[in-house]
A and B are shown apart, each in its own frame.
Chain A
Amino acid sequence: MTTGKHLAFYASFGTVLMLLAVTAPLALAFGFFSATGSRAQFAPLRWISQTYMALVRGIPDIAFFLFFVIALDQGIEWLRHQAKCPDWAEPIRQGNDFIVCAAAKMPLNNAPESVHQIYGFALAVLTFAIVFGAFAGNVLAGAMNTVPHGQIETAEAYGMSHRQAFWRIIVPQMWIYALPGLSNLWMVLIKATPLLFLLGVEDVVYWARELGGTKNIRFTEYPHGDWRMWYFLALLVFYLLFTKVSEIVLSRVTRKLSRGQATAGGEALRKAGAAT
């Protein structure tokens, strides 16, 4: 239980939590920008936001994860190649091979393995954020439209500009409408973390498979049969606990945000408050 491999397994839980901690705010930011973009007055911004949401939401996750990451990686290397090796004579595509000069490699070939892993992790975070940002954008755009129109009219009647009404009236109030959608996304994001494995990041699933696999006495000091079922069961419990905790937290947040809102939840809170 304390071999180097097990330590790597425990550490991989940290990887997953870290991914969630970084990806969730990033995806929310992507979502917020595309949601505001999709209602912008400036048409090209609106088109970009809407295309982004429509495209990413329409492409199957797996295809996106397999294709986009390789494309992104090669794109970065291509750009670095153009910048760093302008007098490179050979073509970048040689048959099936993708060749850039050594200085353009990302990360450099002689970088320590940890740098390679961090780079892979960063690619994963970005990919997750782009995918979930599109969904979050759709949820937020819907939430912005749900804020009662009368409130915006009132704000404008008080002399607030378009921008002021947006920041002071819509943004603070939209969260309660966005929350059901966002909490759904959060749950889906938690469950999507095993996709890390597809991106070559050694996550909990990778190590559970590796540790649980049949261990022959020739190759290990701790031989055992096929224990993958037990390791996966442990993962199941981990994910269930994690989503359960999330649910509790999210229901508290909902309660908090409902205060004073013209929603059924807000009304229930007001009545409960009046009764005491």
Chain B
Amino acid sequence: MKTLVLTAAACALMAGAASAETIRLGTEGAYPPYNYIDDNGQVAGFERMLGDELCKRAELECEWVTNDWDSIIPNLLSGNYDAIIAGMSITPERAEKVDFSVNYTPPSYSSYAAMSEDADLTGGIVAAQSSTIQSQYVVDTGATLLEFPSFEDSLAAMLSGEADAVFADKDTLVPVVEEDPTVMWAGEDIALSVGIGMAFRKSDPDLRAKFDAGIEAMKADGTLNAMIKEYLGEDSPGF
């Protein structure tokens, strides 16, 4: 009798485990408001909400994993997680290594923030996070690029005077500029990103299709727009 109960319990457990596929989502956890670590040490932010919602719609069990920005693509390829959802703009260079989902944010702006409005943006020193579309752009403007492994480090370089300005996604700089009275916008907003997408292994088109379908559905029923407004700010462009 005892064995019977135990076997039944084990079967029930296994059935429970098998019913939902577990997907590991890799993020940086250092790029608010897209993704950051909250006071409880959990991943939070726009992409946490979006990812959880997409997983719910696709009936997938999702685990969040944080990984350094610089090694985020190699670790996807070697299978440490199954998808990247980390404020990653879709670019042709990245698309050579990974496959992107449809974009879940519309084309958006990148901006300069500095301690004064007339910071020298083309001849001075500009800080940016390494391996980003922004760091690429700074090189093209002729400014001296100071690269850092995280957004936080590039911002700190500007605040300490090491760099004249910091260049990053506008949505990321908005909270900084609005909350810190010494930091202000410098120069024009620049349309750099063609949109942010999730990244998948090229050998994993089925998973990508599931998330694509979820993103399209969220675009269609307006939940994605509401989420963008809530987390990325009222002024952030929607679909």
Contacts and interface: CB of A to CB of B under 8 A. Distances in A.
Interface of A: 3-5, 7-8, 70, 73-74, 77, 90, 94-100, 105, 109-110, 113, 116, 200, 202, 210, 213-214, 216-223, 226, 228
B175 interface: yes
Contacts of B79: 77, 97-100, 105
Contact of B155 (A109, A113, A202, A214): A214
B223 interface: no
Nearest to B32: A219
A274 B79 CA distance: 67
Contacts, number: 91
26 contacts: A4-B41, A5-B38, A5-B39, A5-B41, A8-B41, A74-B78, A90-B203, A97-B201, A97-B203, A99-B203, A109-B21, A109-B24, A110-B17, A110-B22, A116-B63, A202-B66, A210-B30, A213-B30, A216-B32, A218-B33, A219-B38, A219-B44, A219-B45, A220-B39, A222-B39, A228-B156
A145 B179 CA distance: 66
B97 interface: yes
Nearest to B20: A110
A100 B204 CA distance: 12
Nearest to B98: A96
Contacts of A210: 29-30, 37
Interface of A is mostly: loop
Given A77-B79, A109-B24, A219 B40 contact: no
A249 to B, nearest CB: 33
Q: Using C-beta atoms within 8 Å of the partner chain, give the interface range for chain B.
A: 35 or more
Nearest to A11: B41
Nearest to A70: B78
Interface string B185-213: 00000000000000001111000000000
B155 A96 contact: no
Max chain A Cβ within 10 angstroms of own Cβ: one of B21, B33, B38: B38
Interface string B148-191: 00001001100100000000000000011001000000000000
Contacts of B82: 109
B23 interface: yes
Nearest to A105: B79
Nearest to B155: A214
B33 A219 contact: yes
A95 B202 contact: yes
A111 to B, nearest CB: 8
Contacts of A77: 79
B63 to A, nearest CB: 6
B23 A3 contact: no
Given A96-B97, A109-B82, A216-B32, A4 B42 contact: yes
B59 to A, nearest CB: 14
Nearest to A95: B202
B47 to A, nearest CB: 13
A5 B38 CA distance: 8
Given A109-B23, A110-B22, A213-B152, 18 more contacts: A3-B41, A70-B78, A73-B78, A90-B203, A97-B201, A98-B79, A99-B79, A100-B79, A109-B21, A109-B22, A109-B24, A110-B21, A200-B68, A213-B30, A216-B32, A218-B32, A219-B44, A220-B39
A196 to B, nearest CB: 13
A94 B202 contact: yes
A202 B43 CA distance: 14
Nearest to B42: A4
B133 interface: no
A271 to B, nearest CB: 57
Interface in B109-163: 152, 155-156, 159
Given A4-B41, A5-B40, A216-B179, A98 B78 contact: yes
